[in-house]
Amino acid sequence: ETLSSCMVDPQGFESVYKMRRSTFSYICGLVRLPFLEDMMARDHTFVDGRVMSLQDRVATAVRMLISGEPPVVVGSSLGVNESTVSLVTQRFIEAIQERAFRHLDWPYNFQAMEKIKCRFDKIHGLPNCCGVVHRAYFKFGSPNLDHEENADTLMQAVVDPDMRFTNIWFGASSSMNQSSLLHDSWLFKSCEKGTLLDGTKLKVSDGSDIGEYIIGDAGYPPRPWLLTPYQLEGDISDSKVEFNKRHSAATAMALRALERLKDTWKCLQGEGWHPNNQNDLRCTINTCCRLHNIVIDMEEEGAVMLSNQEENCIEQVSQLLDEDAVKVRDVLSQHLVDSRVHTFAAEEEQEAHQLQTTDRGKLYTNKKLTAQENETLSSSMVGTQGFESLYKMRRSTFSYICSLVKVPLSEDMMIGGHTFVDGRAMSFHDGVAIALRMLNSGGTPEVVGSSFGVDGSTVSLLTQRFVKAMKGRAMHHISFPGSAQVEKIKRKFDKIHGLPNCCSVVHTTHIKFGSQNHENEENDGVLMQAMFEPDMRFTCISLGSQRNMNQSSMLHKSPLFENCERGAWLNGRNLKVPSGGGSEVKEYIIGDAGYPLRPWLLTPYQLENGLSLSGAKVEFNRRHSAATAVALRALARLKETWKCLEGEGWRPNNQLEAYWTVDTCCILHNIVIDMEGDKEEEKEENYSKQVRQLADEDAIRVRDALSQHLIECGG
């Protein structure tokens, strides 16, 4: 074994490198020739003078990409100079680009594509589907090695049912929108020419043929080879509702693949590794995607790889299963198949639709500031970008937030006497605007301050005070819903996802702030367990240290677990299930397979003996997957809007302040949804008009024929 002992610490190989030794050996084999050439040209050594072997160099580079730490930190942990870590990592990325191209390639092979189509049909009920297309943003730390700002990078990816990347495309500019990125891509040009997705066709009952296709969200234009969901306009047929459910469950897989990519290869979260230029940045992302695929190819055989910790968690989960929990899920899954589609009285649908404009709307309209108070925001705080573009909210929403923190923040600003660098006194509204910009920009206090003419220290102080004020004055915006509100939530889960009596989705995510806080101490990551409504609002969050908690332990220590176990929560009306022999299903929430199955927490069925699940269980899993995607979308929106949560710019002084910052961003997320839900609907309506103009009759016919086929074939 030529891997030096210092390259593996007490945590164990798989824990450190996120792969088995056999996979690591395969990667070493891939880069062997270019690395040996490099080793002949120069001798990289440890700080004690020992020569680094090929395996040592590969391990150093993989550690650099996985850890999210800067080269100096990785080097010190391995006994290697910072410059050596950077050079070895650069050479590794180049070698993977040269030698591992087949690990990220479109499945031209007939058998490979047929296997993908078969799995999409078996798992998600979408026959002849060949992939899911989705876009993602990547932001690396700045400045880079040349002390220049690194631009954001926009990537379009196609994902297969095993969460492998089959195609990626980088935007010419990070300012491109989703549609322009698609039209610029090799995927679009090849499909439009008919040189891609040109395999076997599906014959449906009306005699039509449906060609191979991929699916994408409503941000894409519908094409005969790219099917998007139906817009919910007026009465929508059963076949269209069913198509949307399956479509949603399948597209959620792309979100999971990207989440896993960034969680494993933490350099993609914007910390640690700083590529020299835009080309190196794209090569780094490409390398991580190839490594992601290699791990799946080598270790999973169609199943999601589990760490030792997760495997132990699943063993504990299986011990927690009781007959009552199993019965609840079985009864519900059978009920979904027996009832198929639920309809509701018009007044119930209208009541659910007006959720934001009634109960919550009253909460805000009574507290809006006057127009005169709005005018105290200095003109320099808006600039040329426009208010909504800069602050990610309307002025009326901004005014409401100002009213929430007016008392504590006004007192602080009078005591502190904060000013602009030119000596002008700073208004209370200016202070709120600076704090919001600090949280949503992802820039450092110095960068944010320079854009407004304010010292970096002033930006930090104002942001700290704003976060503390929001924590003290606005926590009522995240609270477990009362009984009337729960009934509305349940109707929406049933209407949209076909899950009657469901009250929420629970999900756990990691949030990493900058690697060092203001006192130059290491910041622990934050582990957040959150519950979501169908409208992507947070209803309950619990926070803990990433260092000493996992998903299961976080749940068991949370108010959610305590209150549900003793019956204080989820104790409303039961669902009577005729097909279950008079059984009743109590209120419940849903979560992924990492959670224990409880009577009030329903998880998906695990695939037994390959893919041999009953029709009822498969249908339950489909609807479960579509609904849990709400949590992934909510978290993606949270982090995309409040970029401080991505690990850049704002660095809390301690763990408590980190918790307060996460709380504040979740509160702001809810407030914007509650006050501006009509804006999102207006955006969707305007965009759907553009989509309809782009859609040709052929694309519409394909989707209609497929959705009708799904109903007629019954599966």
Q: What is the DSSP string of 67-102?
A: H---HHHHHHHHT--HHHHHHHHHHHHHHHHHH-GG
Beta-ladder partners of 114: none
Give CA–CA dist 693/404, Å, rounded: 43
Bridge-based pairing of strands 226-227 and 213-215 is parallel
User: C-alpha angle 283/289/293, rounded to 5°?
Assistant: 140
Bridge-based pairing of strands 202-203 and 209-210 is antiparallel
DSSP letter at 599 equals: T
Cβ atoms 471, 460 nearer than 8 A: no
- Mind listing the pLDDT tens digit for each residue in 510-557? 887 654 444 444 556 788 999 999 999 999 999 987 766 788 888 998
Bridge-based pairing of strands 502-511 and 588-590 is parallel
348 alpha carbon, distance to own chain's centre: 32
Q: Does an H or E element contain 707, and which?
A: helix 697-713
Place of tokens 């080598």: 298
> Three-class SS of residue 573?
coil
> Three-class SS of residue 280?
helix
Place of tokens 């090569």: 283
DSSP letter at 363 equals: H
Beta-ladder partners of 45: 51
- Select from 463, 489, 658 the least CA-distant residue to 570: 489
DSSP letter at 499 equals: -
**Residues with Cβ < 8 Å from 465, sequence gap 6 or more?**
408, 409, 412, 431, 435
> Three-class SS of residue 393?
coil
- Select from 485, 459, 497, 502 the least CA-distant residue to 674: 485
In order of 549, 631, 632, the CA distances from 536 in angstroms are 25, 7, 9
- Which tokens belong to 239? 């076949």
DSSP calls for 445-487: HHHHHHHHT--HHHHHHHHHHHHHHHHHH-GGGS----HHHHH
**Residues with Cβ < 8 Å from 272, sequence gap 6 or more?**
64, 67, 68, 69, 70, 71, 73, 74, 141, 266, 515
DSSP calls for 207-274: S-EE--EEE--TTSPPBTTEE-PPP--SS--HHHHHHHHHHHHHHHHHHHHHHHHHHHSGGGGTSS--
Torsion of CA 253, 259, 260, 264, to 10 degrees: 170
pLDDT of res. 151: 58
- Which tokens belong to 158? 């196609």
- Mind listing the pLDDT tens digit for each residue in 454-506? 999 899 999 988 998 898 888 889 988 888 889 999 999 998 988 999 999 99
pLDDT of res. 185: 94
Cβ atoms 412, 620 nearer than 8 A: no
**Residues with Cβ < 8 Å from 517, sequence gap 6 or more?**
523, 651, 652, 653, 654
Query: What does the longest C-alpha to C-alpha distance in the chain come to?
Result: 78
Cβ atoms 256, 507 nearer than 8 A: no
Rg, Å, the chain Cα set: 26
- Which tokens belong to 498? 């076909």
- Single-letter residue type at 688: S
In order of 187, 347, 642, the CA distances from 452 in angstroms are 42, 50, 19
Cβ atoms 491, 535 nearer than 8 A: no
Categorise residue 383: left if φ over 0, alpha if ψ from -120 to 50, beta otherwise. left
How many other C-beta atoms are found inside a 10 Å radius of the C-beta of residue 8?
16
Q: Does an H or E element contain 327, and which?
A: helix 323-339
- Select from 269, 255, 324, 261 the least CA-distant residue to 288: 261
pLDDT of res. 96: 93
pLDDT of res. 525: 75
Cβ atoms 220, 228 nearer than 8 A: yes
Give CA–CA dist 331/576, Å, rounded: 10
406 alpha carbon, distance to own chain's centre: 33
599 alpha carbon, distance to own chain's centre: 27
Cβ atoms 379, 385 nearer than 8 A: no
**Residues with Cβ < 8 Å from 143, sequence gap 6 or more?**
149, 150, 274
Taken in order 107, 108, 114, 118, the sign of the CA dihedral is positive
pLDDT along the chain (715 residues), means of 10: 70 86 92 77 85 91 92 92 93 91 88 92 93 89 50 88 95 80 94 91 82 94 92 80 92 94 89 79 94 92 41 42 62 65 36 40 42 57 77 91 84 74 87 92 88 90 90 86 88 91 93 56 75 94 80 88 88 80 84 90 77 78 89 91 80 83 95 78 46 57 74 66
Give CA–CA dist 98/89, Å, rounded: 14
pLDDT of res. 683: 46
pLDDT of res. 287: 96
Give CA–CA dist 101/490, Å, rounded: 47
In order of 132, 249, 254, 676, the CA distances from 217 in angstroms are 9, 11, 11, 21
DSSP letter at 300 equals: T
**Residues with Cβ < 8 Å from 573, sequence gap 6 or more?**
487, 501, 587
520 alpha carbon, distance to own chain's centre: 29
Give CA–CA dist 693/560, Å, rounded: 46
